Copies of this chain bind each other. A is one copy, B any other.
Amino acid sequence: MFEKLLSEFTIKSMTLPNRFVVPAMVTRLSGEDGFVNQDIVDRYVRFAQGEIGLIVVEAMAVHNAKSGPLLRICGEEYKPGLTDLAKRVHDNGPSKVVPQIIHFLKIARSGWRQKIEDLTHDDIRLIIQQYGEAAARARECGFDGVEMHMAHAYTMSSFLSKRNRRPDEFGGKSLENRLRVPLEVVQQVRKHVGDDFAVGIRFLGEECIKGGYTTEESALIALRMAEAGVDYISLSAGGKFEDAIHRDGEVLYPYTGYSGDRCMPPADYPDAYNLHMADAARRMIRSQGLETPVIATGKISTPELGESVLQEGKADLIGMARALLADPDIPKKIREGRADTIMKCIYWNVCKALDETFHKVVCGLWPKGHIQAPLSDDTVAPEWPSTESLKVLARTNQIRLNWEKATDNEEVAGYEIWRSEDGGKNFSHLYSVQVTMYTDNLTMSGRQYAYYIKAYDLAGNKSTPSNIVKADVPLRIDLLAQPTGAVQA
């Protein structure tokens, strides 16, 4: 069932145990000092326990610029902590682990921000050098490779951007010019780490801002990076400063506008919303006879979907950020034939909201107070107190559900809501909550809905389905039969 997803994949000198990738995610677990701490180690060890093929550690700065909580790899003093992090990940499972290295520009609470158009050639030379040295440190620390951050709102992405307004050889209308500095970074990194060390890149498949580039250019960027010897290509979308919402007294945060939604598509977006970007890049690369692997990301919500993406040849590896934050054990669970115990991400973006407000990033599905995903070997599932635990109240504009608390030997972690839109024949997972009520606002009058609930515990063991409730929402006859008179004052 998960044949491709569970197959090994070799990138240069690292062989991943499966095709799962956890892309770099901001955690805000480090201090402003930039050193690895216990919370950071715990976060990545937890991913390793879940047997995730490739773990990309959150972005760490190649330079010593002021910022909020952010890891650093800009000097020798950071190496002991990073070395320990790599070792601890390796000790706890089969995962390979690479750090994402980033350069960003200055930003102020006033709304002012430094732009690439402000950089002198000396500045640029220094940044290129810093990337190379940071990559060398990554190798020295025992990581399996290194990933260059060229996505979202940061320095390298701004060079690649179609809104790069530099008048010199590093910008303007020409894509070749916009590629120059990023390609210099690739070469410098390669020079520092050698030919046998995996060097990946993450950049935008689409900028998702006015005047930004689309797959028409990102496929060319991907090709050029493949030609330049990059070992894997990981695509993101959006996350730009240009449409970010400025809040008085706070620094501008690049995931607060529409392009932020496109970066982390919320619940009301279709699954695999950004898949066409990976597909376009991969087709371009393959059309030129190159085999560079492409990682697809963006609300690939289930292993079933991930497997189908691989089977269709739209990507080589499956990146899941929020889904693996919610349940780092997805790879392990499907390997053991326990896909039914996966704690499903619902994409309500509590993680994104915490990030935006500069709080420690946790999953909203984890028990209150936990800063890591729960770990439990329990195998006993929750139970319902009665055969009539679930109740329904159907209204013309919404359906309200409430149910009795389930019981568990350990702890009930939450409830999955399953819905049928064909009167009870086929059910699919709609949402999950930690409380005992839910309002479905996407119901339409004149249609039949049915629901059941499953309770799940910390290990993801799920109860039998509750009783099924059906909701027949009458068509709004008043509205349809008396169009003018029906508007109620």
- In the complex, what's the smallest C-beta–C-beta distance from A325 to chain B, in angstroms? 22
- In the complex, what's the smallest C-beta–C-beta distance from A266 to chain B, in angstroms? 9
- In the complex, what's the smallest C-beta–C-beta distance from A246 to chain B, in angstroms? 14
Contacts of A220 on B, CB cut-off 8 Å? 442, 444
Give A250-264 as 1s and 0s: 1 = Cβ < 8 Å from B's Cβ atoms: 000000011111000
Which residues between 318 and 340 of chain A lie within 8 Å of chain B, taking CB atoms? none
Using known A-B contacts A209-B258, A211-B261, A442-B220, determine if residue A125 contacts B484 with beta carbons closer than 8 Å.
yes
A442 touches which of B125, B175, B479 (Cβ 8 Å): B175
A216: interface (CB < 8 Å) = yes
- Are A121 and B483 in contact, with the CB atoms below 8 A? no
- In the complex, what's the smallest C-beta–C-beta distance from A207 to chain B, in angstroms? 9
- Are A441 and B174 in contact, with the CB atoms below 8 A? yes
- Are B176 and A445 in contact, with the CB atoms below 8 A? yes
- Are A183 and B480 in contact, with the CB atoms below 8 A? yes
- In the complex, what's the smallest C-beta–C-beta distance from A345 to chain B, in angstroms? 16
> How many of chain A's residues have a CB under 8 angstroms from any CB in B?
65
Contacts of A268 on B, CB cut-off 8 Å? 162, 213-214, 216-217
A308: interface (CB < 8 Å) = no
Which among A54-62, A136-144, A184-192, A361-369 touches the partner chain?
A184-192
Using known A-B contacts A268-B214, A268-B217, determine if residue A397 contacts B174 with beta carbons closer than 8 Å.
yes
Closest to A124 in B: B487
Can you identify 24 A-B contacts, CB atoms within 8 angstroms?
A: A121-B487, A122-B489, A125-B487, A129-B484, A173-B441, A175-B442, A175-B444, A176-B396, A176-B441, A176-B445, A179-B444, A184-B479, A184-B483, A184-B486, A210-B243, A213-B268, A214-B268, A215-B270, A216-B268, A216-B269, A217-B268, A220-B442, A224-B444, A243-B243
